[in-house]
Amino acid sequence: MITMPAIDMVATGRNIAVLRQAAGLTVKDLQIIFGFATPQAIYKWQHGTAMPTIDNLVALAMIFDVTVDDIIVIDTDARAQISA
């Protein structure tokens, strides 16, 4: 078993919401930028019930002018165990 760090989805979602607001963007703005038919994915990201895909994380980092590491929050207390 290998112990791997886990992403804190709720804290990451809060980061997305804070960075979006700091950039002066609305959820609707992000919906349009990403070409989503509805804003549901963005709300799920912000509430921590879903994570953006890797390509969407990279796009968010470019939009917010931050690194991907500035968006993702690693939970050092919770660790996921995986089988090698």
**pLDDT score at 4:** 78
Q: pLDDT tens across 31-73, in order? A: 999 999 999 999 999 999 999 999 999 999 999 999 999 999 9
**Residue with more model confidence, 5 or 39:** 39
Residue with tokens 């207390």: 77
From residue 37, alpha-carbon distances to 18, 50, 80 in Å are: 23, 17, 33
Q: Which residues have a Cβ under 8 Å from the Cβ of 69 and sit 6 or more positions away? A: none
* pLDDT above 60: residue 12: yes
Residue numbers of the domain that contains 64 = 2-82
Q: Please, are residues 60 and 72 in contact by the beta-carbon 8 Å criterion?
A: no
13 pLDDT tier (thresholds 50, 70, 90): very high
Q: How far apart are CA 24 and CA 67, in angstroms?
A: 18
pTM > 0.75: yes or no = yes
Nearest CA to 77 out of 2, 1, 3 is that of 3
CATH number at residue 21: 1.10.260.40
**Residue with more model confidence, 76 or 51:** 51
Tally of domains within the chain = 1
